[in-house]
Chain A
Amino acid sequence: MTSLSQFIPPLVILVLLLLAAAWSTWLERRILGLWQDRLGPNRVGPFGLLQVVADMIKIFTKEDWIPPFADKVVFVLAPMILMISMLLGFAIIPFAPDIQIASFDNALLFVLALSSISVYSVMLAGFSSNSKYALLGALRTAAQMLSYEVFMGLALMGIVVLSGSFSLNEIVAAQEEQWFILSQPLGFVLFLIAGVAESHRAPFDLPEAETEIVAGFHTEYASMKFGMFFIGEYLGVIFVSAFISTLYLGGWQGPWLPPLAWFILKTSLFVLLFILLRAALPRPRYDQLMRFGWSVLLPLALVNLLLSALWQLSVGH
């Protein structure tokens, strides 16, 4: 029989994650401000830290408007799917040797499955809005995210070959002597690109490219439903960062500091990288993005898989 105490660690992690996602909106705005020679939010609380609270109050008290022309059930469901799939992903992340919600052998496949589900959220949001800009956003999403998922999965296979497992714990354990970023540099870069595309962040923010299609799939969303997309995006950023740290940077492993500190450090590094990308790069056109994916990333991912397999067969054993 499951005791109530078993629910406490997941709940703590859940709350901490939501807080982290909320505060990363503050972090992004501050860091962008720093890099763009401006201030960013600095009025509410010390360093503007309480800006998030003000934003939350605002977003909760806004009218929860559903456009009369939208498909109501799907419209409400779509942001939930995003939040749920993003949060579920964290269940298999080993934050530290003894902090992990669920550990099972096919964790890697589980993550890929979840990221496929999250595509539905964005697509359904776009289609159910019944608005042209949202529709264009959804079309872009469908094409972009489905194709980048392919490269994402293929890029990961190199690690699976080297570690011989789909389990994250074993992948972390396999990096005790050498991080996979050193043995899988190409796979790392490919996965990073695909990860940015999956979380549809700049420069892969075509589904919501504000200078072209206003706000893309969430054009019609307001209030907390918009907030869920907003927080979901940051959850995605944190998740991809945590996932890359686990797969390529040895997860929680590292000298001197406690494992959790290492994990947070590595994850934050990637979160900052995400923000830097947004500050620095223009946005490619939709067809250029697709061509880049299919004609560059896909062959490279296959080559990477082939080389990893050859290496494993000839040297590994």
Chain B
Amino acid sequence: MRPAKAEVSQAGTSQVRHEWRQELTLADLPELERLLGDRPPRQQSTADKILTLWIAKDQLLAAMQLLKTQSGPFNFLFDLYGVDERLRQDRQLLPAQDFTLVYHLLSLERNQDLRLKVALEESELHMPSLCAIWPSANWYEREAWDLYGIVFDNHPNLRRILLPPTFKGHPLRKEFPCRATENAPFALDEQRQSDEQAALKFDPRDWGMTAEKADHDYLYLNLGPNHPSVHGVFRIALQLDGEHIVQAVPDIGFHHRGAEKIAERQTWHGFIPYTDRIDYLGGVMNNFPYVLAIEQLAGIRVSARVECIRVMLAECFRILSHMLFFGTFAQDVGQLSPIFYLFIDREKLFAIIEAITGARMHPSWFRIGGLAQDLPNGWHTQMQEFVDYFPKRLDEYQVMVMNNSILKRRTKGIGQYSTAQALEWNISGAGLRATGLSWDLRKQRPYSGYDNYQFEVPTAEGGDAYDRCQVRVEEMRQSIKIIQQCITHMPAGDYKADHPLTTPPDTRRSKQDIETLIQHFLNVSWGPVLPKGESCFAVEATKGINAYTLISDGSNSSYRTRIRTPSFPHLQMIPVLAKGLMVADLIAILASIDFVMADVDR
């Protein structure tokens, strides 16, 4: 049922690379093997087939330095997170340890992943900091300290990042209560109030702001957490010389909801609605990596129809998110009207999403092994109308916004970075492609049947704010192209996999024999129990690469859910981009990054 395949194989697949399907082994990394020499790493097998090596604490910095600079370098610090292993049942493959630090690297050249793990004892929670090798490790290490209490030696600024400075405890540790009701009721006595207020006092030195010229007076401006252009609750402390930015220091965490902690007590299915709200403009795009990671873990295969519907809806949400980005981008540069036009267009698409899923922004519609429902009758007429309508509107916006000379002058050459810088700072998505590197997971590692579609990966050359916007505008056109192919070639089939973990047994059979009835009952009351193992899945989400790493301990909920969001590292680059520019430029840069704070703070 995929007639498109023949034509695609000529044009599309030449760009598709398949290295990632081949498993990386230690033998492929002779230099690393030599370096680790006398203490060879223990290998762990994972469901995602990523080479996972346990190395000793003192080997880490040398190994990282080597991996970053060797030929076929692992030059993208994809993720860095901790795991509290103290309650882990499934220990046969793991070394004796209390905590684990996971360093997930990516090699764009090889198109392969590598995971290094370091075991830590509870009495000795110290790690050498990676910041000297990778500047983007800074926030990740702060996060690991904040949530697990792991101390990073020689870290330039090891302070809380997601939680307020006055917070007590490290919430992702297993002993930390998950529910507010397990804590004593909140009380704000006088002592606490004065402590909290003292913590709010602004001292430029705390933020690493120093006077470059001793006889110079600077203006310290607090931009946010509530400011018209920071897109949510995001604070930037600015050190200004006139209107020129000497230093810009982002402060995040105002939108932290502890999604990773919540995941540890929700059932596998029960966490799906939470994922919708991680990148709250991404809708089902957030369900995507989560269900794919679970399906990879449990070995569930879905039908071609499910894959196609998922792709179609994910692309709808890519368009929806990019539309809002486009409108707010113009608005932040001072153009009032486009946002209204784009909201009207979003409304049209939301009506279709609502007709299909029953909800608008957060449908939570993907399920493990399928979808909540099949497509409703007549879906393709509505979808086709939108596909015919929207490209014409995009042409108008191109003239109105992108061709406007004032807007060009405001955004060209502003917030510019090179591909090398982007990789250094862990930038993915349109922000990376705007520097000229065509790196899109839909092409590099086609998931959910993306290799069956014909579409381009738009890139730009300049890597500035204007290019980031232009790339997203082109991406909307490509998404329309993909949706058109979904409409034309929607395969027939079931909307859920025939797998005991995902679909209840046939009613006729469960009324006949008790074993099937028990199976049905347990699956409904407990939720599915997934096999033990680790699984990471990354997708090209609306704002960059979004990945879910799930550690299952053979229970009906996750032992550890790590959500790698693209916006988190993107914001970390703001100080580099804004230095020396003006306040108005900072606003243009913020607009061009396209972040939502829920995606940053989780």
Report A's interface with B, CB cutoff 8 A: 32, 35-38, 132-133, 135-136, 139-140, 202-203, 205, 209-214, 278-288
Contact = CB atoms under 8 A, between A and B. Distances in A.
A210 B228 contact: yes
A209 B337 contact: no
Nearest to B588: A285
- For A32, A133, A212, A278, the residue with the greatest tally of chain B CB atoms inside 10 Å of its CB is A212
Nearest to B330: A282
Contacts of A38: 340
B582 A283 contact: no
A interface secondary structure, majority = helix
A203 B227 CA distance: 21
B577 to A, nearest CB: 16
Nearest to A213: B583
8 contacts: A32-B336, A37-B340, A211-B332, A211-B334, A212-B587, A282-B410, A284-B409, A284-B410
Interface in B381-432: 404, 406-407, 409-410
B584 A36 contact: no
A282 B334 CA distance: 4
A282 B582 contact: no
Interface residues of B, number: 29
Given A202-B336, A212-B587, A37 B406 contact: no
Contacts of B521: none
A214 to B, nearest CB: 7
B335 interface: yes
Closest 8 CB pairs of A and B: A283-B334, A282-B335, A36-B340, A282-B334, A211-B229, A282-B333, A282-B407, A285-B584
Given A202-B334, A282-B330, 9 more contacts: A135-B219, A203-B334, A209-B584, A210-B228, A211-B334, A213-B583, A280-B335, A282-B407, A286-B582
A279 B336 contact: yes
Given A37-B340, A136-B243, A288 B587 contact: no
B344 interface: yes
B159 to A, nearest CB: 25
B594 interface: no
B228 A285 contact: no
B406 A283 contact: yes
Interface in B344-393: 344
B526 interface: no
B19 to A, nearest CB: 44
Contact of A37 (B228, B334, B341, B584): B341
A233 to B, nearest CB: 16
Given A136-B243, A203-B406, A288-B409, A212 B584 contact: yes
Contacts of B336: 32, 36, 202, 278-279
A202 B330 CA distance: 14
A211 B587 contact: yes
Contacts of B228: 210-211, 214
Contacts of A279: 336-337
Contacts of A37: 340-341, 344
